[in-house]
Amino acid sequence: MQPEDVAAATHRIAAHVHRTPVLTSRRLDERVGARVFLKCENTQRAGAFKVRGAFNALLQLPPAQAAAGVITYSSGNHAQAIALAAGELGIPATIVMPHDAPEVKVAATKGYGAAVVRYDRYAQTREQIGADLARERGLTLIPPYDHPHIIAGQGTAAAELLAQAHGLDVVLTPLGGGGLLAGTILAAREAAPAARIYGVEPEAGDDGLRSLRAGRIVHIDTPRTIADGAQTQALGEWTFPIIAGGAADVLTVSDEALREAMRVLATTTKLVAEPTGVLALAGLLTHTGTISGGRIGVIVSGGNVDLDRYAALIATQ
C-alpha cells in the first residue's frame, strides 16, 4: 500500500464523512510541555473514525457483491460504521457483535438498519463466525481493520490532521487491530515524512508491542480492558508490516490512565470520548517524558459511550 491509496480514499469518501475539527488547549499544552493538536474523530458520523474505512470499502464493491450484502464483526464502532454506510448506499448488512458489547453501540447498529448476530468473545471466534456466515449466505466479508480499503480509509483522518496542523513532530493514534495506525503511517509518508508515529494500546492488550519487539505477529488471549474497541488478539496480515516498517514505537497505558485521559479531555475541551477513543491522549499523558517534540498530534478516535458508564468511569474514587 502507498500514500496514494489514502489520497484516493480522501476524494472517494469526501461527500460521505465529516472533516472533523482539530482542537487545542492551553492547559493541556502546559501539562505536557508541548503544543498539542487533538483530531476530534469523536465528532465524526457514527461517532468514530471507523466510518471512513467503511465508506471507502463499500464504495468500491462491485454491483453484484453490493446487492448480495456484506458482513463484518465488531465490538461496536466498525459495526456502526458499516451499518450506517451500508444503509446509506442501499447495501444489506449483517454484523457479528459480542454479547458484552456496549448496548449503546448495539442499539445504534440496529438503528442504522443492520441485522445483528451476537456471540461470546471469550468462548467463540468472531472471525470464524463471520467467515461461516459469509460463505453460507453469499455475503462479502469486510473485516474491521485488516483490509487495504479499510486501512486507506482510516488514514484519511491523519491526512486531514496533517493538513490542519502543519509541521507536526509526533502523531499518536489508538491501536487495536492496527487499521488507524497503519493508515496514519501511510498518510505521513508523504505529508510529514519526518514525523514520528506512535500507536497506543491497553496494557492488558499489548499484542502490538509484543509483535513489534518480536518482529512477527504475536497472538494473545482476548484482553480484559475498559477499552472495548481495542480488545483485539493480534495485528493483521495487512496492518503488521506497515506498522513494523513505519511506527516509531508502540506504547501501553493502564485502564486508570484511560479514565484520567477521559477526565482531562472533558475538563480541558468539554469533549466526551470513550475509553478506546482516548488511548492516544492517555499515551501522551503517561509517556510525556519519553515523547519529544514541540508539536504533537493526537487522534481522539471515538465518542460512543453510554452516559451512565461514562459518568462511572470518570468519577474519582
The verdict on whether 207 is a catalytic residue reads: yes
Here the cell at position 73 is: 464483526
The verdict on whether 50 is a catalytic residue reads: yes
Here the cell at position 30 is: 502546559
Here the cell at position 283 is: 499515551
- Beta bridge pairs of residue 72: 95
Q: In what order do the strands lie in the sheet with 140-141?
A: 115-119, 93-98, 70-73, 140-141
The verdict on whether 103 is a catalytic residue reads: no
Could you give the CA distance from residue 285 to residue 289 in angstroms, rounded to a whole number? Answer: 9
At 71, is the secondary structure helix, strand, or coil?
strand
- Round to the nearest angstrom and report the end-to-end CA distance of the chain: 46
Q: What are the DSSP E strand ranges found in 177-305? A: 196-202, 249-253, 295-300
Residue type, 238: W
At 120, is the secondary structure helix, strand, or coil?
coil
Catalytic residue among 41, 211, 301, 302: 301
Catalytic residue among 25, 39, 47, 50: 50
Catalytic residue among 75, 178, 274, 303: 75
Catalytic residue among 5, 41, 146, 201: 201
Catalytic residue among 41, 207, 228, 274: 207
The verdict on whether 301 is a catalytic residue reads: yes
The verdict on whether 256 is a catalytic residue reads: no
Catalytic residue among 205, 208, 236, 283: 205
The verdict on whether 274 is a catalytic residue reads: no
Annotated active-site positions, please? 50, 75, 201, 205, 207, 301
